[in-house]
Amino acid sequence: MRSADSGAGARTAPEADSGAGADLHLVLDGAGNRREQLMRALRDAISSGRLSPGVRLPPYRSFAADLGIARNTVGEAYAELVAEGWLTARQGSGTYVARRAEPGAPTPVRRRPPAPRRVVHDLMPSSPDASAFPRAAWLTSARRALSTAPSEAFGVGDPRGRHELRTALAEYLARARGVRATADQIIVCAGFAHALRLLGACLRGTVAVESYGLGFHRDLLAGAGLDTVPLTVDSGGARIGELPGTGADSVLLTPAHQYPTGGPLAAERRAAVVDWARARGGLLLEDDYDGEFRYDRQPIGAVQGLDPDRVVYLGSASKSLSPALRLGWMAVPESLVDSVLAAKGVRELRSSALEQLTLADFIACGAYDRQLRRMRQVYRRRRDQLVATLAERAPHIGVSGIAAGLHAVLELPPGTEAAALRSARRLGLALDGLSDYRHPAAGMPPRDGLVIGYGTPPDHAYGAALDALCLALP
């Protein structure tokens, strides 16, 4: 509580018994005598909701001492507010905010907003099966990480990320993805979007992107003052031969599994983009989106392994574990490390040190590999079920791309995408149209399609989701 002339905050001190009343903060505004000021401050606190019905007020003595006013003044203010109906007094028990502190106050009429169409089946892409998160194994790693964490782990975070995680990632990425980077070149971030923001602060000029991709990635680059130009995408990924004509200084690609159309970057194009980066003095930003989820063969290694000095490798735990962890990583060329760290700041502000330590243990003990093997089987089975269902019930609909990732694109007859989306929404299906991913400046004619995520639905609901999908198709 603060009186207008005291210049210092006065707060009720807890008394010996548990029923001493709530701590309050009141401002006495100086108009009128002290009793009137106190009554006005209490009415304002009650009517605004800061003092809820049933809250016990401080006893006269402690309240008066905190405010620097006479005890009788507090008693008189309480008595008048009781008479007005704002407060209630219980003999031997104290003074409370009345249950009906505003007698006769009209009840506001609340208009019910129109109910959105209910989502029955979530087939939005890019999300893993949340029910498959390895809770028991993660808890085991969390306990072990917490019990062995050094004391300095609970201090100000290193902007590079915990050394334990960077070391574990350097070993894992070399073994599983063919990435060549030391722990000092690994920078932990809060996911791909965070990484792109940091890189956007380090880049200049124009960034070439795939003609089909996530619009918010283009928005992030635009927010950093960078222009984007599209590269045509076909079954072999982005057409790298178009790069020299764009004037771009860097290029953002999804080589392992083009998002969303689904093709891998062809071998000759992988080599060509590295040659372009060397000749241009530019950079390839390699988004290894679901690179670990390949079902028809062993996953192709990262392009970064061809030239670590010209490729920034980007990955995250969003698809392999959960987006809720907010953990991602970059393998950065040595020449770029200081610039990225300068953009990030002098301390870690986004990624929990305890989550980083847990993931480090989760990788080191082999639990990460086991989870990936398990989820590959789950997602492969779901993709196979999608393909088989379409072959039986909608054989005119093709599925583009390789057997990989957590989504597939259904190729629709020209001019039917909008109608299919409307039908899907009427049936309670949440999914994307392919046109949502097209770069505004893309030169090729638009393709009609649906982007189907098969990672999100739990197993017991997946069959019903496919039934509804088939009803929505043209």
Q: Is it true that the peptide bond before 260 is cis, omega within 30 degrees of 0?
A: yes
Q: Do 270 and 199 lie in a common domain?
A: yes
**324-369 pLDDT tens trace:** 999 999 999 999 999 999 999 988 888 899 999 999 999 999 999 9
Compare 2 and 49 and report the one with higher pLDDT.
Answer: 49
Residue 114 has pLDDT above 50, yes or no: no
Mean pLDDT, range 35-59, rounded to an integer: 87
Which run of H or E residues covers position 166?
helix 163-177
Residue 70 has pLDDT above 70, yes or no: yes
User: Residue 209: which of 226, 187, 193, 189 has the closest Cα?
Assistant: 226
Q: Do 149 and 77 lie in a common domain?
A: no
Residue 445 lies in a domain: yes
User: Residue 397: which of 295, 472, 293, 294 has the closest Cα?
Assistant: 472
Cβ(273)–Cβ(240) under 8 Å? yes
Q: Do 168 and 312 lie in a common domain?
A: yes
Q: How confident is the model at residue 22 (pLDDT cuts 50, 70, 90)?
A: low
Largest CA distance in the chain: 90
Q: Do 31 and 159 lie in a common domain?
A: no
Find the range with the poorest average confidence among 29-33, 263-267, 369-373, 399-403.
29-33
C-alpha to C-alpha distances, 342 to 222, 346, 444, nearest whole angstrom: 20, 7, 39
Residue 74, domain CATH: 1.10.10.10
Find the range with the poorest average confidence among 12-16, 205-209, 259-263.
12-16
Residue 302 lies in a domain: yes
Q: Do 165 and 62 lie in a common domain?
A: no
Q: Do 244 and 312 lie in a common domain?
A: yes
pLDDT computed for residue 157 by the predictor: 87
Residue 304 lies in a domain: yes
Q: Report the percent of the chain where pLDDT is more than 70.
A: 91
Residue 285 lies in a domain: yes
Q: Do 342 and 375 lie in a common domain?
A: no
User: Residue 198: which of 363, 355, 349 has the closest Cα?
Assistant: 349
Mean pLDDT, range 95-105, rounded to an integer: 65
H and E: helices and strands count for the chain? 13, 17
Q: How confident is the model at residue 422 (pLDDT cuts 50, 70, 90)?
A: very high
Mean pLDDT, range 198-216, rounded to an integer: 96
Mean pLDDT of the chain: 89
Chain Cα centroid distance, residue 361: 23
Q: How confident is the model at residue 107 (pLDDT cuts 50, 70, 90)?
A: very low
Q: How confident is the model at residue 65 (pLDDT cuts 50, 70, 90)?
A: confident
Find the range with the poorest average confidence among 8-22, 40-54, 152-166, 294-308.
8-22
Residue 109 has pLDDT above 60, yes or no: no
What's at 433, amino acid-wise?
G
Q: Do 347 and 383 lie in a common domain?
A: no
Mean pLDDT, range 213-222, rounded to an integer: 94
Q: Give backbone dihedrals phi and psi of 238, rounded to 5 degrees, phi first.
A: -70, 140
Q: Do 244 and 356 lie in a common domain?
A: yes
Compare 85 and 323 and report the one with higher pLDDT.
Answer: 323
Distance, in Å, from the CA atom of 241 to the CA atom of 246, rounded to the nearest integer, reads 10
Give me the residues paired with residue 311 across strands: 284
Give the domain extent around 233. Answer: 135-365
Compare 444 and 341 and report the one with higher pLDDT.
Answer: 341
Give me the residues paired with residue 231 across strands: 210
Last residue of a domain, one of 327, 346, 365: 365
Compare 274 and 8 and report the one with higher pLDDT.
Answer: 274
Residue 112 lies in a domain: no
Q: Do 294 and 173 lie in a common domain?
A: yes
Residue 436 lies in a domain: yes
The total domain count for the chain is 3
Last residue of a domain, one of 365, 399, 425: 365
225: left (phi over 0), alpha (psi -120 to 50) or beta: left
Distance, in Å, from the CA atom of 224 to the CA atom of 203, rounded to the nearest integer, reads 9
Q: How confident is the model at residue 299 (pLDDT cuts 50, 70, 90)?
A: confident
Q: How confident is the model at residue 116 (pLDDT cuts 50, 70, 90)?
A: very low
Residue 466 lies in a domain: yes
pLDDT computed for residue 30 by the predictor: 66
**143-201 pLDDT tens trace:** 999 999 999 999 988 999 999 999 999 999 999 999 999 999 999 999 999 999 999 99
Distance, in Å, from the CA atom of 395 to the CA atom of 388, rounded to the nearest integer, reads 9
Cβ(56)–Cβ(95) under 8 Å? yes
Distance, in Å, from the CA atom of 338 to the CA atom of 201, rounded to the nearest integer, reads 12
Residue 110 has pLDDT above 90, yes or no: no
Q: Do 376 and 361 lie in a common domain?
A: no
Q: Do 322 and 385 lie in a common domain?
A: no
pLDDT computed for residue 442 by the predictor: 93
Distance, in Å, from the CA atom of 170 to the CA atom of 183, rounded to the nearest integer, reads 6
Residue 20 has pLDDT above 70, yes or no: no
Q: Report the percent of the chain where pLDDT is more than 90.
A: 69
Find the range with the poorest average confidence among 26-40, 139-153, 158-172, 427-441.
26-40
pLDDT computed for residue 471 by the predictor: 96
Last residue of a domain, one of 341, 365, 389: 365
Residue 100 lies in a domain: yes
Distance, in Å, from the CA atom of 385 to the CA atom of 408, rounded to the nearest integer, reads 12
pLDDT computed for residue 66 by the predictor: 81
Residue 7 has pLDDT above 60, yes or no: no
